[in-house]
Each structure stands twice: as structure tokens, then as C-alpha cells.
Structure 1
Amino acid sequence: MIYAVFAPLVMTLLIPFFNKWKDKIHTGWFLLPIPLFIFLYFVQFIGEGFSPVAESYQWIPSLNISIDFYLDGLSLLFVLLISGIGTLVLLYSIYYLHKSERLGHFYIYLFIFMSSMLGVVLSDNVYVLYTFWEFTSISSFLLIGFWHYRERSRYGALKSMLITVFGGLSLFAGIVTLTYITGTTSIQEMINQKDIIIDSPLFPLILIFIILGAFTKSAQFPFHIWLPDAMEAPTPVSAYLHSATMVKAGIFLIARFSPILAGEPMFFIIVSLFGIITLCWGSYMAVRQTDLKGILAFSTISQLGMIMAMLGFGTKAAIFAAVFHILNHATFKGSLFMIAGIVDHETGSRDIRKLGGLMTFMPISATLALFGVFSMAGFPLPFLNGFYSKEMFFEASLHLDGYGGQFIPFFQQAIPYLAVFGSIFTFVYSMYFFFGTFRGEAKMGELPKKPHEAPIGMLISPFILVLGVILIGLFPNLVNGTFIAHSAEAIYGSAVEKDIYFWHGLTYPPLIMSIIVVVLGTLLALTRQKWAGIYTIFPRNLSFNEVYNYIVDKTETASTKITNKYMTGSLRHYVLYILIAILVVSGVVFFLTNGFAIDTSGLSTLKLSDVPDILVGLTMAIAAIGTIFTNNRLSAIIILGVVGYGLAILFVIYRAPDLALTQLIVETVTVAIFLLCFYHLPDLKKIKEKPSITLTNSIISIGFGALMTIIAISAHSSKWFEPISNYFLETSKPLGGGYNVVNVILVDMRGLDTLFEITVLGIAALAIYGMIKLRRDKEAK
């Protein structure tokens, strides 16, 4: 599994080379086999006899962090969606993105995201999961802002980053607390300690932290506001991230932790309530949109709310329906996003007010959209997979008795009505999307380009997804026992068996609810122009976007004011801030750890052999103090040099000749550079400071000096740990092959550190050389 997770990430290293031939061969063709091979590899796990597979690789053993992968029914579902739809999106992007685009950047971002999503759904270690989780936020930020020269793209990318990273930090707090309670970083081991977690007084915090992480990523109310603005991304990104993968990461998180959290009243109330609200609000607001991708964005919000609500119900039927709808939603919504991209690509517009009558010009696209739209609407036809999972949702909303918690009676009774309400508007926006785009009168004069059918290559991907809609609708039980049931079992914790079939009889309550949705939805769709004015009453101009903009604007204003307060341009102020921070933080830590209680027994008594040390030390101290009172630049440099050369003498006394030589060289070069620089500076002048400034300087100076003295004595007298020097002394010859311990440490023990230090110095030298050369070239001209 590790090869599958990191294959896209490794491939990003080769993309710049492939991109060199993009004028002859589209870069995407070189990359298409990667997600396809990943998909084909995991397809082999589908089957009735499937059992979980685990792999582990050491990473940071000292922190009990290893790269643990766990493939069960739930992760298999998501892996196949990520790799399968990733393959189709990659094929679609080859025809959608012109070769003049920054294809190298696009595919690097896309493959980083693909690798990150695979890591999220396969990780068993919570910290590895969190690492991949944040990479999805970063890569989605880059993908949404791909067309960075557009202001709306930058705005949408920043909004998605701020909201999802906020949720990521919340998730991090949750997993840290979980690790603290359970003493493990494995999700499966945490599930085995469910009772310990639930009985912990920290359980409510864990629940809130994890739910916040999931809600922000899956665009649940009120964090849904980032998803519509993310539609500024190229359509392949929208079809991949915002229909099938990233927005479902939050769904996956709730599903993965359901064995721990589900069954608790608080979990049911929060997840179900906000899921139902998101369903209703998203479907209601979708009808208000005029941009095709805007309609699909709010429809995605609505569908995600429905899935989240079913996970909140926690019953076997609800879990099975949620898993089934995750699969169904990916098929019809992915195809519809691609169709929206085709319409935009071939007409030059996504504004539904300018579209209409496109079925004549784009019959294949219209046919594909027809199947996708009616599946999304949950229309009762046996070859539409969306109807099956929508009907299961209605059934789950009617039978919540299997839940063991204490319900709020009114909320429990209201759930079916809210489900129908949200589904009615789902039907309305579905009809609005299809008939507003492909039927009616063609408005040729308002379109930037004359519409025509898309090239066959661009139609292959949505065709395959629509084919999936039909095949799953006709033969739902082919994916049931071999696939869906395993996913539901991984969430519920025990076997979940359910036969999927179309007809349950005329008196079947979910069918009656579906008929109500179709009838009322049709009436509202036909009369939309007459009642659409309701949006001027509610929500009118009310929007959580305004709240977001207010918070961001106020934060930026406050940050600017605070920054201007301390960024004064005064070197004295900057040094003062640094010293105060060190003094306060170190002092507090010393106080809390009883560091001021110094054990003087560890200090050696004065011996005759210590006299040279003391004399050199006193000389250095006197020289350091002398620099304060001299007004002559040359004298100050020479006196300061005494301190450096004194340190070299101490190295000699303590038998470190190599360090002494290094110190002598550094000090000599430093003094020489000071002399060269100070030659060009004005004479030193004693400025009479205000008494308050002098007092502040004195307090900080004395306090900082006293703190350094205490730290030195405390470090010398406190023996909390075995000195690491013993290890280096013992292993210098066996491991490094040398008796000079310092050299062995620098070259062997810490060879990489030394290498990077030399690299930094080399880069700095090259930069200085470049500046000198540039100056000389300008002077030569």
C-alpha cells in the first residue's frame, strides 16, 4: 500500500521533465497510468471474502509514530473513488486544459493532493493521518488558486485554506487528547478502548474537536461558505476535489471514528442536526444561483449534509445508506461537474441566464446530463442509482429506534419532514440545472462562443461515470455484498446486511415520500419564476460570508496595528523584545520546575589549578564591561577582542586545541571585519538617555546576565540525565574511527548537520559573489 500512497508524490519529481514535451504531447498522458494502476491494484480486494489488511513502517519510534496503513471496507471505498475518479479527471483535464496553461504546476498540485487523500483514508496512525490531512488543505489551496491572476481565485483559495486549516488544528487537538487518554496512536487500538474514551471527562472535547475538523472539510453548515468560492478552480479540480474526494474527507473522518463516537446522544444531536440543516440550506440556496458550478457547489453541500445526517443517525440502515450514497454521489456529481465544464468550454459561459436550448447543439452532453441530473434528484426510475440511496435515506429517517441514546422528541419527529423539505429543493435545483441549460430557447447572441459538441475525449470521462450511474441502478447488489456491505461494517462495527431492490410496494412510506418530493418539486420547478422573489426576503443579504469577511478584515486591521506598534525600525527595541521574551519565558520555566533551587554540591571547590581559569574569566568580564564605557571605536573593538581571545585561552586550558584554533581564526576575522566596517562609520558619541530608558536598559541587562549565570550554574550542578558526552567518548573510535571526539561528532555523528551548514555558507558566498559581480558590471557600464 505504501507504494500506492507515495507513487503520485514521487511522480511529481518527474513532471517537470515530462512538461518539456507538452507542446507535442500533453503532460497528462505521461501521468494517466499512475492513478489507473492504483485503481486496478485495489480492485483486486473487492469480493465477499474480503478481510482487512495492515502494513506498518517505522518513522519516529521514540514518539511511537509509525507509518501504519489499514485497508478495510471503508478505506477501500474511498481509495477506489480517489484513484478511479482521479483517472477520469486526469483524462478529462487533458482535453480541458490547453497546452499553454501551466500544466506542470497543475499536475504537481493534483498529484500531491491525490497522494495526500490516499494517505488520509489509509492511515491508521492519527498523526500520520493529520499530516496527510493538512497536505490536502495545502494542495487544494494551490489548485483552487491555480488561475492566481484572478482576484476571485485568490479569494476562494485563501478562504478554503483558512477554514479548513482551522478545522485541521481542531482535529489535531482532538487526536492529541485521544492519544493522551488511550496511550496509543493507532485508530484501531483506540476503537478497542472505546469505553475508556467515553468514560473520560475529556470526551465532550474530543467529540467537538473531531466534529469541527470534519465539518470544516466537508462544508457543513455554517462552514459551507468556502465551497462555492472554490468553484473558481478549473473544472477538473471541482469534479475531483469538490464532488468525490476532498469534501468527503470530513465524511470519512466521522465514519472512521464512528465506532468510538456513535451511540452517544451528543454525537447524534450534533451530527444529525447540522447534517439536516446543511441538507436543507444547501438545496434551498442552490436554486438561487445563476452559475452552473455555483448550483453544483450548493448541491454538493446539500448532498454532503444528507450523508452526514445519516452517519449521525447511527443505525444499520442509515450507515448502509450513507455508504451507498457516497458511491452514488461521486458518480452523478462528478459527471455533472464535467458537463458544466464542457458547457463552459464550448460556449464560453456558465451563466444559466445566458444559456438554454443547448440540447440541439450538444445532444451527447445533454443526454449525459439528463441521467446525472435525474439521479441526483432521486427520480424513481430503476436505472438511476441516486433513487435507491435517497429512498434509503427516507427509510432511515423514519426508523431511528435502533439508536440507543436519549433523543429530543421534537427533533426526532421533525427529521423526516426536514428530509422531505431538503429533497424537494434538491429536485427543484436539479430541474433548474438541466432545463435551464439544455432546454428552452437558445440565446446565441449572449454567448461568447457558438456552442458545439465537445470533442470525444472530453466526453469519455462523464460517459463512464454516467454508465456507472446506470449499471449501479440496474444491478445494485453487484456492489452490495462485495463492496458496500464491507464499508458499512467497518463503520458500524458489526455485519451490515441489506438487499437493494427497486420495488417495495405502493404503501412503502419512503416511496410515498419520494412521490411527494417529485410532485411538489415539479410544481415548484415549473413556477420558479413566480416564487423566486422569496430570496429577496430570506436570506436577503444575510450570509455567513459577511461574517467571514468581517472576521478576516478585523483580524488584518488589528494585526497591522499591532505590527506597527512593535516594528518601529529601532534596533534597540527589537533587542529589547527578544531579551524580555527570553527573560520572561525562561524565568517562568525555572520557577515552575524549581530550577532556582541550585544544588551547590555539584560545584567543585576552589583549587590551585583553577586560578588560571579564574584569572582569564575575570579578564574577559572586565573587558566586556569596559566596552560600555569607551567612546573610541578602535578601543571598543580591541577590548571586545580580548573577550574572544580569552575564550580561546579557556579552550586551551580545557584541552580543546581544535576549538581554540577555530575560535582564534573566527575572532581574528571578526576583529578585522569590525575594523573595516567601523572605519566608514561616524565617531562614537555618548548620548544622554532619559532616566527611564537608562533604568530599563539596566534592569534588562542585569536580569538577563543574572539569568544566564543561573542557567549555567544550574546546568552544571543539575544531573537529571546521563551526560551524552559519555556516549560520544565511548563510540568515537568504534563508530567514527577517530580519537578526536569533536571532529568525529562534526563529520560522522552530525555529518548531515555539518553538510547543510556548509551548504548554507556556500549559498551565502555565492549570493555575495553575485552581488559583488553585479555591482562591478554596473560600474563597468
Structure 2
Amino acid sequence: MLFAVFLPALLAIFIPYFSKWKEKIHTGYFVLLAPLAIFIYFVSFVGNDFEPVSQNYEWIPSLNIGFDFYLDGLSLLFVLLISGIGSLVAFYSIFYLHTSERLDQFYVYLLLFMTAMFGVVLSDNVFVLYSFWELTSISSFLLIGYWNYKERSRYGALKSMLITVFGGLSMLGGFILLSIITETTSIQEMIGQVDIILGHDYFGLILGFILLGAFTKSAQFPFHIWLPDAMEAPTPVSAYLHSATMVKAGIFLVARFTPIFSESEWFFVFVSGIGILTLIWGSYMAVRQTDLKGILAFSTISQLGMIMAMLGFGTSTAIFAAVFHILNHATFKGSLFMVAGIVDHESGTRDIRKLGGLATLMPISATLAFFGTFSMAGVPLPFLNGFYSKEMFFDASIKLESSSLMIAELLRTAIPYLAVFGSIFTFVYSMYLVFGTFMGQKKLDQLPKKPHEAPIGMLIPPIILVVGVIIIGILPEAFNSSLIAHAAESIYGQPIEKHIQYWHGLKAPLFMSLAVVVIGALLAFARKSWSGIYSFLPGKLSFNKAYDFIVDQLEKTSAKITNSYMNGSLRRYMIYILTAILICTFTFIGLTGGFNWDASNLSEITIHEVLIALAMATAAIATIFTNNKIGSILILGVVGYGLALLFVIYRAPDLALTQLVVETITVALFLLCFYHLPNLRERTDSIVEKSTNIIISVGFGLLMTVVAISAHSTKLFETISGYFIETSHDIGGGDNVVNVILVDMRGLDTMFEIVVLGIAALAIYGMIKLRNKKGAK
């Protein structure tokens, strides 16, 4: 699995080379190979007899962090969606993106995002999961802002990253607390310690932190505002990120931790409460949109809210329905995004007010849109997979268990009605989308170009997805025992035997579905007559305005704070830095009892050492008071040469020679640039400034003394010097221990130090040449 996870990232290294041939062969053909190969590999795991597989690769053993991959039913479902939809998106992008685009950058970002998503759904180590989680935010930021010359693309990319990274950092806090409580970083081992986690005082913080990460990533209310702005990305990105990957990461996180949190009633309150609110708000706001991708964006928010609510229910029926709808949503939503891209590509606009009557001009696209939107709306037809999971959602909403928590009981009572209410608007925006685009009067005079059917290459991916909608609708049991049941079992913790049937009899879920269709159809038909309600709700209220205000105030406040101390004074900067070091270090030493004094293994101090130390101290102090440049240089040299004499006394000839060479060169350089040195003048500092200088200089010197004494007196581990002395001859073939350490035992350190010096030398040489050229002119 390690190779499968990192295969897209490995391929990304070669994309810049492949893109050089893009005029002959589109770069997307090379990219297509990675997700397709991964999909074929993981399809081999699908079957009734599937058993979880785990693989472990060490990374940072001392911190218990490693690439621990765990493939169960849940992660298998997501891997197949990521790789399967990823293959279709890569193929779709070949015909959507022209070779004049920056294809190398686009596909590198896309492959990095694939790697990040594979890592998220397969990682069993919470800190590795977090690393991949943040990589999804970074790579999606690059994808959303791909057309960076557009202001709205930059805005949408920044908004998505700020919100999702904020949630990711919160999630990291929850992971840290979990690892401390359970003394493990493995999710599967944490699941085995549910009683310890639920009974711990930090449980509330853990639940809140992790859910915050999930809600921000999956665009749950009120963090949903980033998703519509992310529609500025190219349509292949929208189809991929918002149907099967990016927004589903939060769903996956909640599903993965459901075995730990589901016993808590507060889990139901937060997850189902926020989920059902997101369903209602997303579907309600979708009807207001005029951009095709805007409608689909709020549609995605609504559908994610429904899945989140079902996960919060925690019952076997709800979890099975949630898993089933994750699969169904990927098929119909992916196809609809691609159809929206086709309409935009062939007509030049996504504004539904300018569209209409395209069914006769784009019959294949219209047919695909009808299947996708009717499935999304939950129309009760046996060949549409969306109806099955929507009816299961209704069934689960009326079978919730009673609760002793008052707020949970109130929510349980209200959820069936709220589910129908939100689904009515789902039906409305679905009809609005398909009929507003493909039916009605043509408005060709308002279109930038005359629309026509898309090339077959652009149609193949949505056709495949719509065929998936139909196959799942006709043969749902074929996907049940081999895939869906295993994924549901991974969440629920025990086998779920659930048969997917079209007809369940004249029961409440059917009547709820009929109510949605009838009321939804009436509202869709009379949409213009009641759309004025949006001037009251939300009216002028907008979460986007709140976001803009918060970001604007943060920038202004940060600028004020920064400008208050960044005034160009190097002295002030040094005061801030050294004061912070002094306070933090002394406080930490005091609180932890870090100061130790042990003089038992020190040799006697001789008169020679005392005299040299006094000379060095006197010279260092004298540099402060001298006003002569040559005098300052020579006095400063006394300090360096005095240190070299100490190395000689302590029998460290190598260090002494090095110090002599460095000091000689330093003094020589000072003398060479003597003419350019600033004139030393009498300082006119105030008493406050002089007092501050004295306090900080004495304090910092005292700090270094304390640290040096404590470091020498504290022996937490056995020294490694004995090992070097014993093995230098056998390993390095030399008796000079210092040389063997530098050349052999720590040869890489030395090599990179030489490389750094070489780079610095080249930079200096370049600057000299540049100056000479300017002088010549």
C-alpha cells in the first residue's frame, strides 16, 4: 500500500518533463496511468470474503510515528472513489484543458492532492493522518487558485485554506490529547480503549477539536462558506474535490472515529444537529444561485449535511444509508459537475439566467443531467440510486433511539420533519438546475458562443458515472455484500445485514418521499413567486461578510501590532529577542528545576587559565569603551587568540589551529575593509537605554553561564565520547578521534557544511562580478 499511496507523488516528479511533449500528446494521458493503476489494484480486494489488511513502515520510531496503513471496508470504499473518480477526472481534463494552459503545474497539484487523500483514508497513525490532511488543504489551495490571474480564484483559494487549516490545527489538538490518554498513536488501538476515552476529563475537548476539523473540511454550517468560492477552480477540480475527495475527508474522519464517540449522546447532538442544519441551509440557498457550479456547490453542502446527520444517528440503518449515499453522491454529483463544465465549455457561460432550451442542441449532456439530477432529488424510480439512500435516510430518521438528554430528545423528535423540509428544497434545486438549463426557451442571443454537443472524449467520463447511477439503482445488492456492508461494518463495529430493496411497502419513508416530490414539484413550478423570501432570509446577513470582516480586522490589527515594534531599529529588535529568550529560559529552568551544579569531575584551575580568562574578559569589556577602530580590531583579536590558547592548554590542537586560522582571517578582513568601517563615535544613550543595555547583557551572560553549568552537570544519557574513542580506529582507520568524527562518523554533516560554504562562495563571486559589470558601464 505504501507504493500505491505515493505513486501519484512519484509520477508528479516527472510531469514537468512529460509536459514538454504536450503539443504532441496531452499531459493528462500520463497522469491517467496512476489513478487507474491504483483503482485496478484495489478492486482486487473487493469481495464478500474481504478481511482488513494492515502494513507498517517505520518513520520516527522514537515518537511512535510511522506509515501504518490500514485497509478495511471504509478505507477501501474511499480509495476506490478517490482512484476511480480521479481516473475519470484526469481523462475529462484532457479535453477540458487546452495545451496552452500550464498543464505541468495543474497535474502536479492534482497528483499531490491524490497522494494526500490516499494517505488520509489509509493512515492508522493519527499524526501521519494529520500530515496528509494538511497536504490536502495545501494542494487544494493550489488547485483552486490555479487560474491565479483571477482575483476570485485567489480569494477562493485563500478562504478554503484558512478555514480548513484552522480546523486541521484544532483536529491536531484532539489527536495529541487522544495519544496522551491512550498512550498510542494508532486509531485501531484507540478504538479498543473507548471506556478510557469516554470517561476522561478531556473527552469534551477531544470531541470538540476533532469535530471542528471534520466540519471545516466537509463544509458544514457555518464553515460551508469556502465551498462556493472554491468553484472558481477549473471544472475537473470541482468535480474531483467536491464529489469524492476533499469534502468527503471530513465525512471519513467522523466515520473513522464513530466507534469511539458514538456512545456519547453529545456526539449525536453535535454531528446530527449540525448535519441536519447544513442539509436545510445548503438546499435552501442552492435555489437562490444563478451559477451552475454555485447551485452544485450548495447542493454538495446539502448532501454532505445529510450524510453527516446519518453518521450522527449512530444506528445500523443510518450508518448503512450514510455509506450507501457516499457512493451514490460520488456518481451523480461527479457527473453533474462534468455536465456543468460541458455547458460552460460549449456555451461560454454558467449563468442559468442566460441558459435554456439546450436539450435540442446538447441532447447527450441533457440526458446525463436528467439522470444525475433526478437521482440527486431522490425521485422514486427503480433505476436511480439516489432514491434508495434517500429513503433509507428517512427510515433512519424515524427510528432514532430515545435519549435521557433533553436537547438530544428534542432533536430526535424534530429530525424527521427537518429531513423532509431539507429534502423538499433538494428537489426544488434539482429541478431548477436541469429544467432551467436544458428546457424552456432558447436564449442564444445572450450566449457568448453558439452551444453544441461536447466532443466524445469529454462525454465519456460523465456517461460512465451515469451508467454507475443506473447499475447501482438496478443491481444494488451487487454492491452491498461486496463493498457497502464491509464499509458500514467498519463504522458500526459489527456486521450489518441490510437488504437494499426498491419497494418497502406503504410505510412512513415512502410517504415522506412522496411528500418531498409533490411539495417540491409545486415549489419548483412556482419558484419565482416565492423567491422574494431570500430578501428577508438571509437578506443582508451573510457569513461571507462575517468572514471578510474577521480577516480584514485580523490584517489591520496585525499590521498595527507589527508596526508598533518594527521601526527599523536593530537595537530594539535585539532587545525583544534577547528579553524573550531570557524570560522563557529562566522561567522554564525555574519551573522544572533545571539548574544543576556538579564540580566533582572538574580538574583544578591553574594560574595560566585564570590569567588568560581575565585577559579575554578585560578585552571583551574594553571593546565597549574604545573609540578607535584599529584599537577595537586588535582588542577583539585578543579574545579570539585567548580562546586558542585555552584550546592549547586543554590539549585540543585541532581546535586551537582552527581558531587561530579563523581569528587571523577575521582580523585581516577587518583591516582590509578598514576604510569602509563606520566611524566610532561617543554614544549619547540615555540612562534608561544604558541601564537596559547593562541588564540585558549581564542577564544574557548569566543565562549562558547557567546553561553551560547545567549542561555539564546534568547527565541524562551516557556520553557518546567513549564510543568514538573506542571505535575510531576500527571504523575510521585513524587515531585522531576528532578527524575521524568529522570525516567518517559524521561525514554527511561535514559534506553539507562544505556545500553551504561553496554556495556562499559562489554567491560572493557572483556579487563581485555583478558589481564589476555595473562599474564597467
Please report the TM-score for the alignment, with normalisation by the length of structure 2.
Answer: 0.98
Q: Could you tell me which residue of structure 1 aligns to residue 549 of structure 2?
A: 550
CA contact (8 A) 1:263 1:403 kept: no
- Does 1:758 find its partner at 2:754? yes
Alignment-mate amino acid for residue 595 of structure 1: G
Alignment-mate amino acid for residue 101 of structure 2: E
C-alpha separation in 2, matches of 1:148 and 1:41 = 36
Deviation at 1:54, TM superposition (A): 0.6
C-alpha separation in 1, matches of 2:572 and 2:724 = 41
Q: Could you tell me which residue of structure 1 aligns to residue 424 of structure 2?
A: 424
C-alpha separation in 2, matches of 1:219 and 1:736 = 59
Q: Could you tell me which residue of structure 2 aligns to residue 533 of structure 1?
A: 532
Q: Could you tell me which residue of structure 1 aligns to residue 618 of structure 2?
A: 622
- Alpha-carbon distance change, 606 to 755 in structure 1, aligned in 2, over 3 angstroms: closer
The number of equivalent residue pairs is 777
C-alpha separation in 2, matches of 1:222 and 1:170 = 16
The worse-fitting range, judged by mean Cα deviation, of 652-661 and 739-748 is 739-748
Structure 2 residue runs without a partner (length 5+):
none
Cα-to-partner distance string for 1:644-676 (whole Å, 9 max, x where unaligned) = 111112222222222222212221222222223
CA contact (8 A) 1:346 1:450 kept: yes
C-alpha separation in 2, matches of 1:462 and 1:682 = 72
Cα-to-partner distance string for 1:25-52 (whole Å, 9 max, x where unaligned) = 1111112111101000000111110000
Alignment-mate amino acid for residue 597 of structure 2: D
Deviation at 1:620, TM superposition (A): 0.9
Q: Could you tell me which residue of structure 2 aligns to residue 289 of structure 1?
A: 289
Q: Secondary structure at the match of 1:764?
A: helix
Query: Percent of aligned pairs with the same residue?
Result: 69
Alignment-mate amino acid for residue 369 of structure 1: A
- Does 1:696 find its partner at 2:695? no
Q: Could you tell me which residue of structure 2 aligns to residue 519 of structure 1?
A: 518
CA contact (8 A) 2:598 2:713 kept: yes
CA contact (8 A) 2:402 2:412 kept: no
C-alpha separation in 2, matches of 1:583 and 1:531 = 66
Q: Could you tell me which residue of structure 2 aligns to residue 772 of structure 1?
A: 768
C-alpha separation in 2, matches of 1:308 and 1:753 = 51
Q: Could you tell me which residue of structure 1 aligns to residue 733 of structure 2?
A: 737
C-alpha separation in 2, matches of 1:235 and 1:433 = 17
Pick aligned residue for 1:680 from 669, 676, 681: 676
Deviation at 1:578, TM superposition (A): 1.6
CA contact (8 A) 1:603 1:716 kept: no
Q: Could you tell me which residue of structure 2 aligns to residue 322 of structure 1?
A: 322
The worse-fitting range, judged by mean Cα deviation, of 193-202 and 75-84 is 193-202
- Alpha-carbon distance change, 403 to 189 in structure 1, aligned in 2, over 3 angstroms: farther
- Alpha-carbon distance change, 247 to 593 in structure 1, aligned in 2, over 3 angstroms: same
- Does 1:599 find its partner at 2:597? yes
C-alpha separation in 2, matches of 1:731 and 1:578 = 42
Q: Could you tell me which residue of structure 2 aligns to residue 723 of structure 1?
A: 719
Q: Could you tell me which residue of structure 2 aligns to residue 189 of structure 1?
A: 189
C-alpha separation in 2, matches of 1:20 and 1:713 = 60
C-alpha separation in 1, matches of 2:349 and 2:110 = 25
Cα-to-partner distance string for 1:58-81 (whole Å, 9 max, x where unaligned) = 111111112110000000000000
Q: How does 1:565-576 map onto structure 2 within 5 Å?
A: 565-576=564-575
Q: Could you tell me which residue of structure 2 aligns to residue 710 of structure 1?
A: 706
Alignment-mate amino acid for residue 535 of structure 1: Y
Deviation at 1:402, TM superposition (A): 8.0
C-alpha separation in 2, matches of 1:488 and 1:404 = 26
CA contact (8 A) 1:286 1:298 kept: yes
Cα-to-partner distance string for 1:82-107 (whole Å, 9 max, x where unaligned) = 00000000000000001011100000
Q: Could you tell me which residue of structure 2 aligns to residue 665 of structure 1?
A: 661
Q: Secondary structure at the match of 1:219?
A: coil
Q: Could you tell me which residue of structure 1 aligns to residue 16 of structure 2?
A: 16
- Alpha-carbon distance change, 135 to 403 in structure 1, aligned in 2, over 3 angstroms: farther
Q: Could you tell me which residue of structure 2 aligns to residue 42 of structure 1?
A: 42
Cα-to-partner distance string for 1:530-556 (whole Å, 9 max, x where unaligned) = 111100111012111111111111111
C-alpha separation in 1, matches of 2:257 and 2:735 = 55
Cα-to-partner distance string for 1:298-337 (whole Å, 9 max, x where unaligned) = 0000000000000000000000000000000000000000
Q: How does 1:328-727 map onto structure 2 within 5 Å?
A: 328-401=328-401, 408-505=408-505, 507-596=506-595, 598-602=596-600, 604=602, 606-607=604-605, 610-727=606-723
Q: Secondary structure at the match of 2:682?
A: coil
Cα-to-partner distance string for 1:447-491 (whole Å, 9 max, x where unaligned) = 111111110000000000000000000000000001100000000
Cα-to-partner distance string for 1:118-157 (whole Å, 9 max, x where unaligned) = 0110011111111111111110000001011111111111
- Alpha-carbon distance change, 731 to 593 in structure 1, aligned in 2, over 3 angstroms: farther
CA contact (8 A) 2:317 2:392 kept: yes
C-alpha separation in 1, matches of 2:178 and 2:728 = 42
C-alpha separation in 1, matches of 2:603 and 2:328 = 80
CA contact (8 A) 2:403 2:409 kept: no
Deviation at 1:405, TM superposition (A): 7.4
C-alpha separation in 1, matches of 2:558 and 2:672 = 40
Please report the TM-score for the alignment, with normalisation by the length of structure 1.
Answer: 0.98
Alignment-mate amino acid for residue 226 of structure 2: W
Alignment-mate amino acid for residue 447 of structure 1: L
After superposition, the CA RMSD in angstroms is 1.4
Q: Secondary structure at the match of 1:408?
A: helix
CA contact (8 A) 1:264 1:405 kept: no
C-alpha separation in 2, matches of 1:723 and 1:773 = 48
Deviation at 1:604, TM superposition (A): 3.2
CA contact (8 A) 1:265 1:407 kept: no
CA contact (8 A) 1:263 1:404 kept: no
Structure 1 residue runs without a partner (length 5+):
none
Q: Could you tell me which residue of structure 1 aligns to residue 162 of structure 2?
A: 162
Q: Secondary structure at the match of 1:172?
A: helix
CA contact (8 A) 2:366 2:438 kept: yes
CA contact (8 A) 1:602 1:716 kept: no
Deviation at 1:736, TM superposition (A): 3.3
Q: Could you tell me which residue of structure 1 aligns to residue 233 of structure 2?
A: 233
Deviation at 1:199, TM superposition (A): 1.1
Q: Could you tell me which residue of structure 1 aligns to residue 108 of structure 2?
A: 108
C-alpha separation in 2, matches of 1:731 and 1:163 = 54
Deviation at 1:728, TM superposition (A): 2.7
C-alpha separation in 2, matches of 1:670 and 1:105 = 47
- Alpha-carbon distance change, 415 to 347 in structure 1, aligned in 2, over 3 angstroms: same
Alignment-mate amino acid for residue 101 of structure 1: E
Alignment-mate amino acid for residue 728 of structure 1: F
Deviation at 1:436, TM superposition (A): 0.8
C-alpha separation in 2, matches of 1:225 and 1:727 = 59
Deviation at 1:407, TM superposition (A): 6.2
Q: Secondary structure at the match of 2:68?
A: strand
CA contact (8 A) 1:314 1:403 kept: no
CA contact (8 A) 1:315 1:403 kept: no
CA contact (8 A) 2:368 2:462 kept: yes
Q: Secondary structure at the match of 2:13?
A: coil
C-alpha separation in 1, matches of 2:767 and 2:137 = 38
Q: Secondary structure at the match of 1:128?
A: helix
- Alpha-carbon distance change, 4 to 157 in structure 1, aligned in 2, over 3 angstroms: same
Q: How does 1:222-261 map onto structure 2 within 5 Å?
A: 222-261=222-261
Deviation at 1:723, TM superposition (A): 2.1
The worse-fitting range, judged by mean Cα deviation, of 288-297 and 573-582 is 573-582
C-alpha separation in 2, matches of 1:562 and 1:277 = 38
Deviation at 1:406, TM superposition (A): 7.1
Q: How does 1:17-96 map onto structure 2 within 5 Å?
A: 17-96=17-96
